[in-house]
Structure 1
């Protein structure tokens, strides 16, 4: 299938049929951008915040456009009164207060509670450009549509592939929280994985996945969202005995995902025409 690769400074992507897929990667936010983002969000932001990075897909004729960015994702972090206490580590409160005071120069409530694991169920920003179709270009729940896994397993040529980190934090050496995207475009379809991966050492693993799938030649975009979670010890116990004391699998979000039970999932569909 005819396609055109895109490469312009920090932007890479592909144009295929009526679609444009773009991935933009640049450096972490500078100190002024960090201050602005922290003040706007009302929380300290992750240590590594790629606030200008994004992945986007756009369908020209319908005006549908979906973006994946860090700051809208962080806007969904829990800031309720009990948010900071939901997951505990041995010295979480002391670290939380010190970090809050260090990063809240422009925030009135210095020790404002927030979920220090940066857990977010963000599944993309619908920024469709069509003035006539914008209200109609929305994802709706479905039980009739699903991602064609068999098609994704086929050894089709990959026209474009990219990975993009949106934010990452090591939780003061208590684990890691990462939000990232992967995109794969084949002659027959495009596929996106947005993943929030959380590891809190000796406490838990948590994964929120959003999968976007479109088969070229159809008028549907499918979004599948899933939640997986399990205790750290239960997950660690699943490491094959052959690995001995090698704990490297606990750093592999793909292996962790294959071991965690599916707690919740749902599928949505968007019709382009």
Structure 2
């Protein structure tokens, strides 16, 4: 059932789905439980790797324009981009990474018909969403309007959605989440992959999607940040003493990490 809230937008609430219809857009966020054991077996077999401990494979965030443009964020397409090259599992070392990798592989091998392949056990992914309709192209002439986002516009719809999470066998955390806010003038999505490998490194890959209503462009900004665990920990303010809680805060960590790479893309609405 949908509830009409004003002449300019309509909030959506249908079972496990919430969202908003505004101007020529429809936004939907679907949240449900983690995958069942049968779904996990099928996903592992399809991807060829053990999947994260907590995977919300049926969760999604989608935005769709009346022109046919659609952008969707899901866990399994993101995991399909995890590196499975021959040396991928050795790119990051921890004290017992080999033992952990063998253990995870053995736990899942009865459900995977192919030979277990090496894979990036941190689940690092540069997934930027699944696109239907108009495609994104790299641009140097478009950018997210930061000044517009600073304006105190009311938030008509806000949502957070977890796609997957893994504690890396108590070595840290890997988590992929979406956050979205819709204002009367625009919307902004943040898809964030956050990685913490204790005593080794921090890594963040952010994808931001921005659209100002009344324009024909959707901006996608992708960036990767990374630094050592030691250097990041050293940035904790002295006033905080040995309080390491900041290292669990992806926003604080992101503000401390140097940018490794970035690009801006644009999709034109017809």
Same fold (TM over 0.5): yes
2:60 to 54, 65, 75: 54
2:117 is the alignment partner of 1:120: no
Q: Cα distance, 1:146 vs. partner?
A: 0.2
What is aligned with 2:256? Answer: 259
2:228 is the alignment partner of 1:227: no
1:86 to 77, 91, 94: 91
What is aligned with 1:73? Answer: 78
Q: Cα distance, 1:109 vs. partner?
A: 4.7
Q: Cα distance, 1:111 vs. partner?
A: 3.9
- RMSD of aligned Cα (Å): 0.9
Question: Which stretches in structure 1 are left out of the alignment for 5+ residues?
Answer: 129-136
1:268 to 252, 265, 268: 265
Report the Cα distance in structure 1 between the residues aligned to 2:211 and 2:109, rounded to whole angstroms.
42
2:161 is the alignment partner of 1:167: no
| Preserved contact between residue 49 and residue 116 of structure 2 (Cα < 8 Å) | no
What is the 5 A alignment of 1:235-254?
Answer: 235-254=232-251
What is aligned with 1:98? Answer: 103
Normalising to structure 1: TM-score of the pair?
Answer: 0.95
Q: Deviations over 1:57-93 (max 9, x none)?
A: 0001x10000000000000000111010000100010
Runs of 4+ with deviation above 3 angstroms: 108-111
| Preserved contact between residue 45 and residue 113 of structure 2 (Cα < 8 Å) | no
Q: Deviations over 1:119-178 (max 9, x none)?
A: 0000000133xxxxxxxx110110000000111111100000000000000000000000
- Paired residues, number: 264
Report the Cα distance in structure 1 between the residues aligned to 2:213 and 2:180, rounded to whole angstroms.
15
Normalising to structure 2: TM-score of the pair?
Answer: 0.96
2:51 is the alignment partner of 1:42: no
SS in 1 for 2:110: coil
SS in 2 for 1:104: helix
What is aligned with 2:28? Answer: 22
What is aligned with 2:3? Answer: none
| Preserved contact between residue 19 and residue 27 of structure 2 (Cα < 8 Å) | yes
Question: Which stretches in structure 2 are left out of the alignment for 5+ residues?
Answer: 1-6
2:207 is the alignment partner of 1:201: no
